[in-house]
């Protein structure tokens, strides 16, 4: 049993561990004590004990392996059914046959059906829909035959018990094993949906950026192309006007470059309010408990627009680092006024799980990252720091108060 990396911070690790003990553990614990007690009975012939012990060991191991394989997480896209290991399937069937025949020869109607019931239940876990229903119904119906036939041949008067108890045992065992596995499958589908929602949120943000960039560049480039074509036509017959058109092209190119830089660095749309709302949505979609603590005085105080953008960029960068570089389960954003300065603190609990390299990984995420933002905050009279505090990683930004043009 191995915990998947994608299960960190979702609670699935503990649930997976519980399911493993509840399903393979229960199957093995049903087989070993009951068949072991029967083998220790003095009435059991010695010649049956050696093959029965060998079959019991094989059946227990095969049951644990097959059910553990059934609990293995599927492909990331959730496509394709889980396939059982064929060698262990054959081993389980052979051991089941031995454990069914030997007790049945001793007219033990209560025990012989246990191993077949476990094997049928394991087979049912790998099937879905109509195929599973047909397997279970057919096994319940067939379980009536062996015990009933032996009872009639022996004339022991226990036909009803010999025929009906194994059938009920098969139905109960299937129900007992399929219940926890059904819950595990539902949890797995919900986890895949959670990860898909997080990916969609990131893609939506990329599409928003692409749309902003297209709106700016599309207009500028179209005008530049038209004016360049006009200047080329006027170059010989009206050089003065052609030069004027090219001056316009130069100015448009400078405007396009400035606006593009504004979009890339977030000046155009990034504000602290928008980025806090976006961080809450994206972190929640990634299964991270995001808590926001906002000082009403800081929220309502007037701030200069450039400073709002700077703190918004800090929230965006810290959110990206949490998603890319940590296995955080919770994150906290705290924004308040303290000592005449606006102070923003973004922390998460993924530092311990990320190991010694957590700090560099959080601090750098490509591009300018936190170091670049730190330089820009220093230029605005503020400060940006980051580092580990126990099992938490914190990013702290501060800017001068309203009188100095700080940010919200």
Claim to verify: residue 109 and residue 168 sit in the same structural domain: yes
Residue with more model confidence, 325 or 371: 371
Claim to verify: residue 254 and residue 386 sit in the same structural domain: no
Distance, CA of 73 to CA of 185 (rounded, Å): 9
Distance, CA of 150 to CA of 396 (rounded, Å): 79
Claim to verify: residue 246 and residue 276 sit in the same structural domain: no
Claim to verify: residue 280 and residue 188 sit in the same structural domain: no
pLDDT tens for each residue of 216-264: 677 677 778 878 888 888 888 888 888 888 888 888 788 888 877 777 6
Where do runs of H (alpha helix) occur along 71-113?
Answer: 86-105
Among candidate residues 365, 364, 354, the one with its CA nearest the CA of residue 388: 354
Number of domains in the chain: 3
- Whether the per-residue pLDDT at 347 is higher than 70: the answer is yes
The residue segments making up the domain with residue 19 are: 5-196
Claim to verify: residue 185 and residue 205 sit in the same structural domain: no
Q: Answer yes or no: are the C-beta atoms of 279 and 334 closer than 8 Å.
A: no
Claim to verify: residue 211 and residue 253 sit in the same structural domain: yes
- Whether the per-residue pLDDT at 283 is higher than 90: the answer is no
pLDDT tens for each residue of 161-215: 889 999 998 898 888 888 888 887 787 777 777 777 777 877 777 777 777 677 6
Claim to verify: residue 179 and residue 211 sit in the same structural domain: no
Claim to verify: residue 129 and residue 221 sit in the same structural domain: no
Distance, CA of 309 to CA of 38 (rounded, Å): 76
Last residue of a domain, one of 179, 196, 213: 196
Distance, CA of 360 to CA of 389 (rounded, Å): 14
Q: What is the pLDDT of residue 405?
A: 38
Q: Answer yes or no: are the C-beta atoms of 85 and 66 closer than 8 Å.
A: yes
Among candidate residues 121, 132, 164, the one with its CA nearest the CA of residue 145: 164
Claim to verify: residue 79 and residue 103 sit in the same structural domain: yes
Last residue of a domain, one of 264, 293, 320: 264
Q: What is the pLDDT of residue 340?
A: 75
Among candidate residues 235, 253, 254, the one with its CA nearest the CA of residue 244: 235
Last residue of a domain, one of 196, 214, 235: 196
Claim to verify: residue 153 and residue 295 sit in the same structural domain: no
**DSSP 8-state assignment for residue 293:** E
Claim to verify: residue 23 and residue 70 sit in the same structural domain: yes
**DSSP 8-state assignment for residue 128:** -
Claim to verify: residue 399 and residue 293 sit in the same structural domain: yes
**CATH code, domain with 204:** 1.20.5.1930
pLDDT tens for each residue of 11-67: 566 777 777 777 888 888 888 888 888 888 777 788 888 898 999 999 999 988 888
């Amino acid at each position: 049993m191995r915990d998947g990396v994608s299960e960190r911070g979702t609670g699935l690790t503990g649930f997976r561990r519980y399911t493993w003990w509840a399903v393979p553990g229960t199957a093995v614990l049903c087989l070993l004590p009951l068949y072991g007690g029967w083998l220790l009975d003095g009435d059991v012939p010695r010649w049956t004990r050696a093959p029965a012990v060998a079959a019991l060991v094989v059946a227990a191991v095969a049951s644990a392996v097959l059910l553990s394989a059934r609990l293995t997480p599927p492909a990331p896209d959730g496509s394709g059914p889980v396939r059982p290991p064929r060698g262990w399937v054959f081993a389980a069937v052979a051991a089941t046959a031995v454990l069914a025949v030997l007790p049945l020869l001793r007219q033990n109607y209560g025990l012989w059906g246990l191993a077949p019931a476990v094997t049928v239940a394991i087979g049912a876990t790998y099937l879905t829909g109509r195929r599973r229903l047909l397997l279970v119904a057919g096994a319940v119906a067939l379980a009536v035959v062996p015990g009933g036939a032996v009872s009639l041949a022996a004339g022991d008067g226990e036909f009803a018990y010999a025929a009906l108890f194994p059938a009920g045992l098969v139905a109960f065992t299937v129900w007992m094993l399929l219940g926890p596995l059904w819950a595990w499958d539902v949890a797995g589908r919900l986890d895949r949906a959670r990860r898909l929602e997080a990916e969609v949120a990131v893609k939506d943000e990329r599409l928003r950026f692409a749309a902003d960039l297209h709106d700016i560049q599309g207009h500028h480039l179209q005008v530049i192309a038209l004016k360049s074509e006009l200047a080329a036509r006027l170059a010989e017959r009206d050089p003065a006007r052609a030069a004027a058109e090219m001056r316009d092209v130069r100015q448009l190119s400078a405007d396009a470059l400035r606006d593009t830089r504004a979009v890339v660095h977030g000046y155009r749309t990034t504000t602290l309010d928008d980025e806090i709302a976006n961080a809450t949505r994206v972190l929640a979609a990634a299964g991270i408990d995001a808590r926001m603590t906002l000082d009403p005085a800081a929220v309502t105080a007037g701030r200069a627009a450039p400073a709002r953008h700077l703190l918004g960029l800090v929230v965006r960068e810290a959110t990206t680092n949490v998603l890319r570089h940590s296995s955080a389960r919770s994150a906290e954003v705290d924004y308040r006024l303290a000592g005449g300065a606006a102070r923003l603190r973004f922390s998460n609990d993924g530092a311990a799980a990320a190991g010694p390299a957590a700090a560099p990984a959080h601090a750098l995420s490509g591009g300018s990252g936190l170091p670049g933002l730190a330089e820009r905050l220093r230029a605005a009279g503020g400060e940006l720091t980051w580092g580990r505090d126990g099992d938490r990683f914190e990013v702290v930004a501060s800017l001068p108060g309203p009188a100095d043009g700080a940010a919200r």
